[in-house]
Amino acid sequence: MNESNTLSLENEAGFKALFQYATVGILVVSSGGRIELSNPAVEKLFGYEKTELTGQLIELLVPEGFRHSHVHHREGYFKKPKARPMGYGLNLFARKKDGTQFPVEISLGHYQLDNESLAVAFVTDITERQRFNDELEAKVKERTLELTQSLEREKELNDMKSRFVAMASHEFRTPLSAILSSRTLAESYTKAEQEDKRKRHISRIRASVKNLTVILDEFLSLDKVEQGKVEIERETFDLYDFAEDLVEEVNGMLKNGQHIRFSYNGVRNITQDKKILRNIMLNLLSNAVKYSGEQQTVYLDIDADNDQKKVVIRVRDEGIGIPQEDQKNLFNKFYRAKNATNIQGTGLGLTIVKQYVELLNGDISFISEPNQGTTFTIEFSLNHPGHENDLINRGQ
């Protein structure tokens, strides 16, 4: 008996210390909502003196906007009191004496004393925890974004790999099997009168090797431009003559009944990298021819506008066009539109063209309608700024 008395006394002292020194705010509230007891942690948390709190309604510590509903919650709680952790899924805020608000977590307990129902609330300031959570959340978001981006990059690489394999298996195999079969046949034509047949097969071999060389050249060009190894060498030349030569070259690739209509407006002399421009235009023109049918026309319109100081080149065809869903990927490596699978190609030309146009500080765009045709437009400045300065400097 004595022992338990001692124990209970010790407990009381212990509990007092616990109440006094707890770093969590402890409040005892009557069923009428009045503060009966508060520990020093509450005073520190809320900035009130103990005397300012005792006897006050607990809503004093609730932000103004929530006071009204808090009265309802409190009354509801005392009607059916039970211990419960608070703050689960709730964002609770408390109000300091100076009006500032801070996030809190509150757990509630209740007990009876002399027929009076009392609630005990444990209040923890979670400002720091929330800041930490916010920081963590921001970090998680950032990392998730990085991860998504690298997954997308990986997916993009995988797609590119599949496109490459599809392209390579077709574009390499076709000329290689043509070479093999023509070689075997050419060997079998041993008689003098079979000279014609031998020649036909040898020229087939030559054409196939040329195809392979074109593919290899495209690879090398792309690699060179991607490595930043392409140097721009600008010179002043007659764009009209230049374009006319190109048209003549492309005339050699035309299908039955196809022709090129060339129109030219504006000044003739421009300053640009001839080799790169040739590559761009040849690519666009040969695509226009390749993706058009017999009897169709390819239009080359050039406008070298001295007032606007820019050159606009349009290559238009009346060919198969580009399906809407393929248009956004057209400049991706090895990408080929669905309607182009039966036509030879690597899906590298436009990737190279785009990179070249960027090297010239120009723009490339296109509009296309399936079965109606496609127009590619490139724009770049008529005189390279560096060159203009040269002229001005020389003029001075």
Residue nearest to ligand ADP (CB): 345
Return the number of the residue (17 or 216) whose C-beta is nearest ligand ADP. Answer: 216
Count helices and strands in the chain by DSSP H and E runs: 12, 13
Residue 291 makes contact with ligand ADP by CB under 6 A: yes
Give the whole-angstrom CA distance, residue 77 versus residue 89. 18
Q: Among residues 186 and 313, whose Cβ is nearest to ligand ADP?
A: 313
Length of the chain: 396
345 contacts ligand ADP (rule: CB under 6 A): yes
Torsion sign (Cα): 205, 211, 213, 219: negative
Residue choice 38, 258, 346, 383 for contact with ligand ADP (CB under 6 A): 346
Nearer to ligand ADP, 107 or 332 (CB): 332
Choose the binding region for ligand ADP from 53-61, 140-148, 200-208, 339-347 (rule: CB under 6 A): 339-347
Binding test (CB under 6 A) with ligand ADP, winner from 39, 287, 296, 355: 287
Using CB under 6 A as the binding rule, whether residue 350 contacts ligand ADP is answered as: yes
258 binds ligand ADP (CB under 6 A): no
Contact in structure between 298 and 258 (CB atoms under 8 Å)? yes
Contact status: 175 vs ligand ADP (CB under 6 A):
no
Asked if 322 interacts with ligand ADP (CB under 6 A), we say: yes
Q: Is 240 left (phi over 0), alpha (psi -120 to 50) or beta?
A: alpha
What string of DSSP letters covers 162-174? HHHHHHHHHHTHH
Candidates 310, 336, 354, 384: give the one binding ligand ADP (CB under 6 A): 336
Instruction: Pick one of 208, 321, 379, 384: the residue that binds ligand ADP (CB under 6 A).
Output: 321
Provide the 8-state DSSP code for 57.
B
In the complex, the smallest distance separating the C-beta of residue 300 from ligand ADP, rounded to whole angstroms, is: 12
Residue 277 interacts with ligand ADP (CB under 6 A): yes or no: no
Contacts 24+ apart (CB under 8 A), 136-144: none
**Distance (Å, rounded) from C-alpha 362 to C-alpha 311?**
9
Residue type, position 88, single letter: Y
- If one asks whether residue 302 binds ligand ADP (CB under 6 A), the answer comes out as no
Give, in order, the Cα–Cα distances in Å from 219 to each of 175, 209, 229, 341: 17, 15, 14, 20
Q: Please state the closest distance from residue 247 (CB atom) to ligand ADP, in A.
A: 16
In the complex, the residues that contact ligand ADP under the rule CB under 6 A are 287-288, 291, 317, 319-322, 330, 335-337, 340, 345-351, 374
